[in-house]
Structure 1
Amino acid sequence: MCLGDDPTCAAFAEHRLRYRRDMEPERRAFLKSGFVATGGAAALAAGGLSLVSPALAQNSARRLKQTAHYHLPANAETIHWGYFSKSLKPQVEIDSGDFVTIETLTHHANDDAERMVTGDPGAESVFLWTKEKKGVARRGAGPEDSKLGPGGGLGVHICTGPVAIRGAEPGDVLEVRILDVAPRPSANPKFKGLTFGSNAAAWWGYHYNDMLEGRKREVVTIYEVDASGDRDWAKAVYSFPWPGVTDPDGRDHPTIDYPGVPVDHTKTKRTYDVLKGIRVPIRPHFGTMGLAPAEADMVNSIPPSYTGGNIDNWRIGKGATMYYPVAVPGALFSVGDPHASQGDSELCGTAIECSLTGTFQFILHKKADLAGTSLEALDFPMIETSEDWVLSGFSYPNYLKDLGPDAQNAIFQKSSIDLAMRDAFRKMRQFLMHAKGLTEDEAISLMSVAVDFGITQVVDGNWGVHAIVKKAIFSERTA
């Protein structure tokens, strides 16, 4: 039977939509490898240890209408490539409490179009690029006349959206619950039942200037994932050195410098005996997810900031809840950069970049209701799971504001782990003092003995350090 992976089926579109909406996620190891509880609901069930207090939940619930469920496909009309913008027209407008199933495409799909684009109408419309036509012209926040192509590749992620939330205003907090994550099956009949992703060890990777063997090089590894979810690990299929590519407009790309360039595999040298016998645990998540910032009209999708974006934390997966400060009317939520798996640091520059579909619920918390709550002072993206609170520290908490008019260029020269660590420390100190009622001395001691600080990523311009604190620590605290 067609599960939305057989484009020759007469009911292909209907089956594909049904597959994404109606899969039973609890029966699939693909999703069980993520967080199995559903965000805020699970947190409340676990003794009330949630950022959303019962009183705040009640106040926010009063505004909820009868909830609706929307579906937002990924195609050339519904995505924006390489940037966030407060001027984008919403693809869908929803009320607080509504659900949206959103398809996302990896911007690396053209590394192997046969496996990740062919036969998929949405992906084909996005990645279309011939001498006569380009499906999505702008790729990045740079100028239209960039020598690399419109947008200049100053931002690379295919973002689906935005989703506007009615009534959202600056100063509010948007709660986004990730209820489900499903793989996007290959639509090529040759690869039925499989999903694929690409990992590029690229020039922006942390390793690039510290190579042991030979000259500097970019190497792409293609991974295979079981689209049914019965297998909770990925395996490498083959790798190839970036061959240097001439795009359909005649521009040369000796390095991976512009997203979505079609790779001609008649010119690549594939190595199939790669990572033999190694299983990579699946951690399905969204690398880029967040709201539009207020400081600039068009913002590079690569550096993360106070409204989220390219955080690249593998914990932003099924069962996690994100909290974002709203910066512009409508909030304007977009999601992309889907990953099948990633380790902390994303060291070589990318994860297993693999197209996914997520189902989200959006809850708006109004500024007037935040006084005295854990969310009152929230001015950065925060992750909540059934067991943890995870705070995101960056080299510059709001680089668009911190670095002035040239911020989108300067951030790539000024990041450091030291700055990101200090930001994570300060945010955790604020959280423990404000939300949990500790003194500064108590907070500092607790951070040293019970909080885990980790390197989120060192490849996104604005480097990241996350701080994780277990909810169970506070299970006996009454105030």
Structure 2
Amino acid sequence: MKHHTLPVSPATVHWGYFSKQVAPCLTLRSGDRATIETLTHHANDDHERMIAGDPGAESVFHWTREHKAVSRRGAGPTAGPFRLGSGEGIGVHLLTGPVVMEGAEPGDVLEVRILDVRPRPSCHACHAGRCFGSNVAASWGFQYHDLIEEPKPREVVTIFELDTSGEPFARAVYNYIWTPQTDPDGIVHSMIDYPGVQVDHALVRRRENILPNIKVPARLHFGTMGLAPSESDYASSTPPSYTGGNIDDWRVGKGATMYYPVAVEGAFFSVGDPHAAQGDSELGGTAIETSLTGDFEFILHKKDQLGGTILEGLSHPMLETEQQWSVYGFTFPNYLAELGPNAQVEVAQHASLDKAMRDAFRKLRRFLMTVHHLSEDEAIALMSVAADFGVTQVVDANWGVHGSIRKSVFTGT
């Protein structure tokens, strides 16, 4: 077993997509561990607190009229013309990787253990050592067309500070309504429509003393983590799918294990979209988007060794914690295959919790029947009285429902 380190830099991140075509920045063997840095794509909501003075973050977010460190932002063409910015596409998350697993082949399962998660401190002299994150009530949020106060509609950014002394929690520092921002290339962004635009705080009005006397329990986790799919060379980071991706479950943090079916040779693992806290549904469009560093262990399970294990028949992401197993249902289990050439555009037009719930039910039924050898009637009875189904997210185009079963129900007697 070897331990590797993967810092953030323009050479080790890709922005807005999973890909089997990106040159890997790390190759691991089964059993290896890696410390991987991740950055939030919302860091420029408060450049002073989340980027300034941080060499890694500054190198990734560097953008002037003369030079843009990471040009391609989303699963789209590299040649213009562009309306919102160079390299524009579908997908927004900064991902570190890809990490290639030696010997991984389609049909295998990659186990990813999250050993530890740590927030990335601010490097600005005024905020040194403190940690910050951004929550955005955005145009893609569930609330956007259902507001009751003026102005409406509106996008609102709330900056949080994370207290890591003792039991970690977050407090709101201030918020502001998004106002048109002009990027270094002269493009005006009237909405939050292109990732990484630096907010000019001279153009927004900060509202202080918000959410007074409220402490939000920290749930450090990675919102987007998974493998490259086989169906597309560049797949948007926004909709989750059968190889993982933007699942946005706050339980995917320290002590959790995720299992992903391998779709391409090498697996091509990437991780990002780090969060300080999130509730089920991620209702407003984002969590507390912050930058995190994780310690991971990778174990490759070959397809001819899956029988008789909890991974038998696994064709979708699955979470294991000390207390439970969770499967993830989506509107489309594999939207890239189901919706055809325009899948990445069309998937958001069909978002449905009904279909996501149906998919979660079918996946948990399969797990109980295959792994725990229950009959269908037994599995349905157990799900009805002991399983928990919850809304994972309603903001990622391919909406999600998680189905969880506690390990304690299987007594072995």
CA distance in 2, matches of 1:243, 1:388: 44
Selected match of 2:274 from 338, 345, 353: 338
CA distance in 2, matches of 1:180, 1:129: 32
Alignment TM-score, normalising by the size of structure 1: 0.85
**Alignment partner, residue 371 of structure 2:** 435
Q: Give the C-alpha shift of residue 130 in structure 1.
A: 1.1
Within the alignment, does 1:403 sit opposite 2:358 as a pair?
no
**Alignment partner, residue 224 of structure 1:** 161
CA distance in 1, matches of 2:408, 2:87: 46
CA distance in 2, matches of 1:229, 1:351: 21
Determine if contact 1:143/1:150 at 8 Å carries over to the other structure: no
Selected match of 1:452 from 370, 385, 388: 388
Q: Unpaired segments of 5 or more residues in structure 1?
A: 1-66
**Alignment partner, residue 362 of structure 1:** 298
CA distance in 1, matches of 2:128, 2:270: 29
CA distance in 1, matches of 2:325, 2:87: 36
Q: Give the C-alpha shift of residue 230 in structure 1.
A: 2.9
Higher strand share: 2
**Alignment partner, residue 111 of structure 2:** 175
Counterparts in 2 of 1:117 and 1:273: CA distance versus 1, 3 Å: same
**Alignment partner, residue 300 of structure 1:** 236
Shift >4 Å, 4+ stretches: none
The residue correspondences of 1:245-394 to structure 2 (distance < 5 A) are: 245-394=181-330
Selected match of 1:102 from 36, 40, 58: 36
Q: Unpaired segments of 5 or more residues in structure 2?
A: none
The residue correspondences of 1:84-103 to structure 2 (distance < 5 A) are: 84-103=18-37
| 1:426-475, Cα deviation, whole Å (9 max, x unpaired) | 00111110010100001111111100000000000000000110000002
Determine if contact 2:175/2:206 at 8 Å carries over to the other structure: yes
Q: Give the C-alpha shift of residue 222 in structure 1.
A: 0.1
Determine if contact 1:287/1:336 at 8 Å carries over to the other structure: yes
Q: Give the C-alpha shift of residue 341 in structure 1.
A: 0.2
**Alignment partner, residue 419 of structure 1:** 355
Higher helix share: 1
| 1:258-302, Cα deviation, whole Å (9 max, x unpaired) | 000010001110001110110000000000000000000001100
Q: Give the C-alpha shift of residue 373 in structure 1.
A: 2.5
CA distance in 1, matches of 2:181, 2:202: 11
**Alignment partner, residue 210 of structure 1:** 146
SS at match of 1:422: helix
**Alignment partner, residue 150 of structure 1:** 86
**Alignment partner, residue 53 of structure 2:** 119
**Alignment partner, residue 49 of structure 1:** none
Alignment TM-score, normalising by the size of structure 2: 0.98
Instruction: Name the aligned partner's letter for residue 89 of structure 1.
Output: A
Determine if contact 2:77/2:89 at 8 Å carries over to the other structure: no
Instruction: Name the aligned partner's letter for residue 24 of structure 2.
Output: P
Determine if contact 1:107/1:260 at 8 Å carries over to the other structure: yes
SS at match of 2:219: coil
Selected match of 2:12 from 66, 78, 81: 78
SS at match of 1:290: strand
Instruction: Name the aligned partner's letter for residue 390 of structure 2.
Output: G
**Alignment partner, residue 131 of structure 1:** 65
Indicate the RMSD between aligned Cα atoms, in angstroms. 0.9
May I ask how many residue pairs the two structures share in their alignment?
A: 410
Determine if contact 2:221/2:276 at 8 Å carries over to the other structure: yes
- Stretch deviating more after TM superposition (149-158 or 93-102): 149-158
Q: Give the C-alpha shift of residue 151 in structure 1.
A: 3.2
Determine if contact 1:96/1:363 at 8 Å carries over to the other structure: yes
**Alignment partner, residue 39 of structure 1:** none
Instruction: Name the aligned partner's letter for residue 131 of structure 2.
Output: T
Determine if contact 1:142/1:150 at 8 Å carries over to the other structure: no
SS at match of 2:348: helix
Identity of aligned residues (%): 63
Q: Give the C-alpha shift of residue 231 in structure 1.
A: 4.5
SS at match of 2:207: coil
Determine if contact 2:74/2:90 at 8 Å carries over to the other structure: yes
Determine if contact 1:153/1:259 at 8 Å carries over to the other structure: no
Q: Give the C-alpha shift of residue 153 in structure 1.
A: 4.4
SS at match of 2:46: helix
**Alignment partner, residue 407 of structure 2:** 471
